[in-house]
Structure 1
Amino acid sequence: MATRNSKLYLLITLGIASAFGPFLTDFYLPTLPVLDKYFNTSASLVQLSLTFCMIGLAVGQLFIGPLSDKYGRKRPLLLSLGLFGVATIGCIYSQDIHWFILFRLVQGLAGAGGVVISKSIATDLYEGRELSMFFSLLSGVQGLAPICAPALGGFLLEVTDWKGIFWILFAIGLLLVFILSFFKESLPKKCRQKENIYSTFHNYIPVLHNKRFINYVLVQAFAMGVMFAYIAASPFIFQTHYGLSPTAYGLCFGANAVAIMLGSFSVSFFHSAKQAMRTGTVGFGLVSLMVAVALISNATVIIVESILFLFLIFLGLILPSSTALALDEERDNSGNASALLGFLTFLFGGVISPLTGLGNMLYTTSIIIIVCCLGVWWCTRKAISDIVC
């Protein structure tokens, strides 16, 4: 394609766009213990703002994915970023926790554009091993968001309040709009869905009937369930239970993001995405038991952090490989397929997150991790018949 953007531009731009949705959750994590005091509410209601943002990220993809198949990738992406700016201003000027939760939902709906469309753009331009390699690199770039977000959020919380963090989110949205103005459309008009917009949504039906695609999606959903449980519980475990400062917590969170990046980059050393996902699944399951024992036995923060680092390396193997395998199954309906992939993973995360706050958080987080790892193993076994049991 003569008018295609350079691979480096695509890698950086799509990495930022796809990480923008998760950035919404990670950047304000250090403020969770502060928000309950600001709004004079409970920790569970503050966690609900995280849940509603994830639900928005999930549901938004179901609509934006098919729209991008119909109208191209660039316009829906820019419109979603405009809506994000409006929702961010709403969060800043919210008078109570209920308005804040509502605008967090809208933020999630808008942030879904970058998550779903970035995957569709990659599927437009690459296939097979090249697609798997690109997703491996993309996941590595995405890893920069969780490295920078909590650490930067924790640092900013030392010098400003939570509203300053949301103003920075607004500025990042504007910067992304500027960067995307140089993007060259990846889906030509001749390749777009020709039916009316209502018919475009009917394309979900054949995608849902693809059992192998669904199994790959469920692998990622269970894996992301672990990630979202960790995201929701980590500020309270590290800051409240272990007494770390917001800055120290941000550094721990950033170190764990490095682990995911290492796992993602390691995918390129495997012969196939299936082999990478198989290896990640086995390691993920074994180390999950170590994580649970460390949390339940109230091990030191150094031990917990060390085991989590190893655990998240295997998560890094699973995420890009399962994404590439899923989208390679549904190239003709990449927008719908990417939307379903994102919907189920973020919806699963939205359901899982508040469960960590039930009872003793160390115990509930351990149980959730083990159950999700069993789900990853089972669905991988269903998708790849020669999985090592």
Structure 2
Amino acid sequence: MLSAFGPLSMDLYLPALPSVEDEFGAGQSAVQLTVSAAAIGLALGQLLVGPLSDRYGRRGPVLIGVGAWAVASALCAVAPDVWTLVAIRLLQGVGGAAGIVLARAIVRDRLDGVAAARAFAVLASIMAAAPVLAPLAGGLLLSLTDWRGIFAALFVIGLCVVGALLWRLPETLPRDHRVPGGLATTLANGRELLGRRSFLTPVLAMGLGFGALFTYISHSAFVLQDGYGLSAQQFSLVFGANGVGIVLAGQFSRVLAGRVRLRTLLRAGLAGQAVGGAVLAAAALGGWSLWVVLPAMFVVTTSTGLVMPNATALGMAEAGRKAGTASALLGVVQFGLGALIAPLGGLGAAGDLLPMALVMLGSTSLGLLAAAALPDRERQAVGAD
């Protein structure tokens, strides 16, 4: 549940953007800021909450974060104007960040070896599939309510998660394992982690692989509907099928953990993304039919289900007592690279496949280079040979 908070904050609301624009009479750029603000909050919140949890434990920060997310969701539902909504969405993102960063840290606190890799596969498949499936759920909610009702639903979800945390989540970081110190210590820990090739390379590989997925999420509607003439309903079916593919790939990765080296699974996922991107580029240049484009998109998106869990497991294995800080850095690189890479896919004319395909191919090719630079040794914490 915690892993889904970021995508829920960002993407459940996407189908409602036109109705928000109509109600407030605001321009498209102002309404788009309500999405960007949530993304900024998710990134900044991870940098804040992760190191704090290394110092004060996991349970308190996650309860405060999820509670703040629920309150912010309720406030969004009654926002009187678009600029108030933008400000509250920023706070909602900060609260939702606690779920993302601490889900990974809690797994790292409790599990080692193959068990940790399998748990990260579950979390990562949710993180990868939720951005694809959340807009579909948002569209269904809009058939029953308006955009304010979507935020009311998020408020109810937040209350349920707070109750579940109070009931089922113990403190997972003992006092004698906590990292003392203030901002200077946090910065030193972050620099130390980023200075390790065994941490930095899988984190970069994951961010670049996620950049390809985020490019698909941002531009596939224009490509498939404006460029290839799919209806909104047909596009929803394609979007949903690709989301299911990500989940299945994540479960496949979970099964293979302990039998195949994590670096091998990571490289296989990035290679799959690159092959899919290359086929999409060839289809754009050669004017190939939709029956080539759709399978290639499926390969790109589904391969993310191999990239994210194994990159996460490899990076978090390096965390030790700094799991919160490591998880925060991982999340910031993921969302940061995604936010930087995805807009490049829209540089061409509306509905043009080629820019999206080239961005996907370039991003995953760089990810393969990062994965190739991984040290030969895998730490015991993630199931070394």
For normalisation by structure 2, the TM-score amounts to: 0.87
Which of 201, 210, 232 is equivalent to 2:218? 232
Listed as ranges, the matches of 1:166-205 within 5 Å are 166-182=151-167, 183-196=169-182, 198-205=184-191
One-letter code of the match for 1:376?
Answer: G
Counterpart contact for 2:46–2:98, Cα < 8 Å: yes
Match of 1:89 in 2: 74
Q: Give the equivalent residue in structure 2 for 1:288.
A: 277
**Farther-moved stretch of structure 1 (44-53 vs 243-252):** 243-252
Residue of structure 2 in register with 1:114 after alignment:
99
Tell me whether 93-102 or 364-373 shows the greater mean CA deviation: 93-102
Do 1:154 and 1:246's aligned partners in 2 also have CA atoms closer than 8 Å?
A: no
Tell me which residue corresponds to 1:346: 335
Q: Which residue of 2 aligns with 1:366?
A: 357
Contact 2:55–2:179 (CA under 8 A) maintained in structure 1: yes
Amino acid of the structure 2 residue aligned with 1:89: A
Shift of 1:371: 1.8
Alpha-carbon distance in 2 for matches of 1:92, 1:204 = 37
Looking at structure 2, the residues matched to 216 and 64 of structure 1 have their Cα atoms a distance apart, in angstroms, of: 22
Determine whether 1:158 maps to 2:138: no
Task: Check 1:43–1:236 CA distance in 2 against 1; reply closer, same or farther (3 A cut).
Answer: farther
Instruction: Give SS of 1:383's match.
Output: coil
What is the aligned partner in structure 1 of residue 382 from structure 2?
Answer: none
Stretches of structure 2 lacking an aligned partner (at least 5 in a row) = 378-385
Query: Is 1:139 matched with 2:139?
Result: no
Return the alpha-carbon distance in structure 2 between the equivalents of residues 195 and 172 of structure 1.
35
* Letter of the structure 1 residue corresponding to residue 188 of structure 2: H
Deviates most, 169-178 or 361-370: 361-370
RMSD: 2.6
Q: In 2 relative to 1, CA 73–322 (structure 1 residues): closer, same or farther, beyond 3 Å?
A: same
- Secondary structure of 1:100 counterpart: helix
Contact persistence 2:102–2:324 (CA under 8 A):
yes
Q: Give the number of equivalent residue pairs.
A: 371
Percent of paired sites with the same residue: 35
Structure 1: segments with no counterpart, 5+ residues: 1-15
Give the alignment partner of residue 322 of structure 1, picking from 308, 311, 332. 311
8 Å contact kept, 2:274–2:365: yes
CA spacing shift, 1:314–1:148, aligned 2, 3 Å: closer
What is the CA distance between 1:288 and its match in structure 2? 0.9
For residues 28-50 of structure 1, give each alpha carbon's deviation from its aligned partner in whole angstroms, at most 9, with x where no partner exists.
23224444444444545444433
Which TM-score applies when normalising by structure 1? Answer: 0.86
